[in-house]
Amino acid sequence: EEEIPEDHPRYQDLLTRHRIENGVEKGITHLQGMHAEGRGSAFDYLLGEETIPSADAAERAAAAHLLLADHPVLSINGNVAALVPGEMADLADATGADLEVNLFNRTPERMQAIADHLREHGAEDVKGLEADARIPNLDHQRAKVDENGIYEADVVLVPLEDGDRAEALEEMGKTEIVIDLNPLSRSPQVADVPIVDNIIRAVPNMTDHARELADADEEMLREIVDEFDRERALETAEERIRNGF
Ligand code: ATP
Ligand code: MG
């Protein structure tokens, strides 16, 4: 990360790519994560590499959902762990959420490497290693979750999530928050709160909103949640990508 000059016009994008490469080298990120990163990068370029106002509103609504939840869980995969490990620990701290490792290509080595990496970045308790429950209607490996984690959660944040899992979680009746730069991907399409933004910007901004709302009463949090319009958020992001405004 030190090697990229900060005044480079594509600094953030290069930094992101570099983090994914490091993740692959460390055994945290699957090689397929590099392709996912490339797709995300293209959408971010078209969005102007900034948090658009509708994404900020989604991030605020997501923070309110997490604060209202009885049992919020933040799901971590290989790209999330490589890009924002400390930021996810901060968001967990600000909202009282649990962190749970959940992989598309699950191996015991990667599960352990990611849990260790998160702890090195300040995470206290990391779930996902028990895998003592299953998400219904998903194939065996991808269905594995912790019973006292994602399985029982009422609100889940699933960044950069695969469409099948996002749908299966939605079918379980959970309130689902998705971070995904492609507004047309199935995951944001099924989410209660689709956040079309780079996870690098989205997570710290959610934490800022959560800290700002820490003393808000339940009525105010409910109002923020109710005011959020998911269709509008998806449409606005798509317009921005297609038309540039
Ligand atoms: P599918 O149609 O199966 O959902 P996909 O192209 O969405 O395919 P996935 O691997 O399922 O591929 O999902 C990766 C998603 O994550 C992509 O939509 C990509 O745009 C998004 N993405 C990648 N990097 C980031 C990032 N840094 N921040 C936010 N979203 C990202
Ligand atoms: Mg997708």
User: Tokens 């490996």 appear where?
Assistant: 141
Q: Which residues pair with 158 in a beta bridge?
A: 178
- The pLDDT score that the predictor gives to residue 2 is 60
Q: What is the ipTM of this complex?
A: 0.95
- The pLDDT score that the predictor gives to residue 105 is 87
CB contact set of 44 (below 8 Å; sequence gap of 6+): 13, 181, 198
Nearest Cα residue to atom 22 of ligand 1? 40
Q: Tell me the CA–centroid distance for residue 7 and ligand 2, in Å.
A: 32
Tell me if 186 is assigned to a ligand binding site. yes
Q: Tell me the CA–centroid distance for residue 105 and ligand 1, in Å.
A: 15
- The pLDDT score that the predictor gives to residue 9 is 85
Q: Tell me the CA–centroid distance for residue 41 and ligand 1, in Å.
A: 10
- The pLDDT score that the predictor gives to residue 3 is 77
Secondary structure of residue 103 in the 3-state scheme: coil
> What are the CA-CA distances from residue 79 to residues 1, 62, 95, 106, 153 (Å)?
16, 20, 22, 13, 22
Task: Give the C-alpha separation, 224 to 239, whole Å.
Answer: 24
Task: Give the C-alpha separation, 32 to 210, whole Å.
Answer: 32
Of 119, 112, 123, 172, the C-alpha closest to 143 is 172
Q: Tell me the CA–centroid distance for residue 151 and ligand 1, in Å.
A: 23
Tell me if 199 is assigned to a ligand binding site. yes
Q: Tell me the CA–centroid distance for residue 222 and ligand 1, in Å.
A: 29
The pLDDT tens digits along the chain (245 residues) read 567 888 888 888 999 999 999 999 999 999 999 999 999 999 999 999 999 999 999 999 999 999 999 999 999 999 999 999 999 999 999 999 999 999 988 999 999 999 999 999 999 999 999 999 999 999 988 999 999 999 999 999 999 999 999 999 999 999 999 999 999 999 999 999 999 999 999 999 999 999 999 999 999 999 999 999 999 999 999 999 999 88
Q: What is the pTM of this model?
A: 0.97
Give all domains of the chain, ordered by start, each with its CATH number.
Answer: 53-243 (3.40.50.12640)
Phi, psi of 68 (to 5 degrees): -80, -20
> What atom of ligand 1 comes closest to residue 33's alpha carbon?
10
Tell me which of 47, 76, 102, 180 to substitute to probe ligand 1's pocket, judged by most ligand atoms within 8 Å of the beta carbon.
180
- Measured from CB, residues less than 6 Å from any atom of ligand 1 are 16, 36-37, 39-40, 43, 83, 160, 162-163, 179-182, 185-186, 198-200
Of 44, 55, 52, the C-alpha closest to 10 is 44
**Ligand index nearest the alpha carbon of residue 162:** 1
> What atom of ligand 1 comes closest to residue 198's alpha carbon?
28
